[in-house]
Every structure is written in C-alpha cells, then in structure tokens.
Amino acid sequence: MKLTVNGETHEHTGNGTIDALLEELGANKAHTALMVNGNVIASEDWKNTALNENDEVEMLVFVGGG
C-alpha cells in the first residue's frame, strides 16, 4: 500500500493498521504521536485504525524546544 509518511513516499507491506506501520518503521509507540490526513489519532485506536491507499501520515516525537 502506497502511503506518504512524514512527507516521503512509503510502500507499506504490513496488515494496513497504524500499529503495523509503526512497527514496520521501527518507531517507539509510547514515544510517538500520529496524524492521518490531518486528523490526530489516539494511540488506543492505532490497533484498529485501517490505513488507506495514498493516506498522508505524520509521525511525531518530542524534541528539545523552548
């Protein structure tokens, strides 16, 4: 499934859930916030949220900031 993840094209080969995408990309789920097509998806919904072809996914982490 073709997705755009953090602005770059990504071919997802898992089962199409957000959980599967995060595992595929090696992200620490407890440290990640996520949006799909501009909508914030709560972590408790990741297991059951199905991604669709051409979805735009933003994966974010906390970094230093003032």
Partner 1 sequence: MSDTLKIGDQELGSRLFLGTGKFSSTQAMIEAVKASGTELVTVALRRFNRAQAEDDLYGPLAELKTVRLMPNTSGAMNAKEAIRAAMLGRELSKSPFVKLEIHPNPHHLLPDPIETYEAAIELVKQDFLVLPYIPADPVLAKRLEDIGCAAVMPLGAAIGTGKGLSTADMIKIIVCDANVPVVVDAGLRAPSEAACAMEMGCDAVLVNSAIAAAENPAAMGGAFKTGVEAGRAARLAGLMPTSEVAVASSPLTSFLSNDD
Cα angle, residue 34 at apex, residues 23 and 53 outer, rounded to 5°: 70
Which of 25, 23, 28, 29 shows the shortest CA–CA distance to 5? 25
17 contributes a contact to partner 1 by CB under 8 A: no
The contacts of residue 30 (CB under 8 Å, 6+ apart) are: none
7 contributes a contact to partner 1 by CB under 8 A: yes
Contact positions with partner 1 (CB under 8 A) in 32-61: 32-35, 38, 40, 42-43, 58-61
The minimum distance between CB 49 and partner 1, in angstroms, equals: 13
27 contributes a contact to partner 1 by CB under 8 A: yes
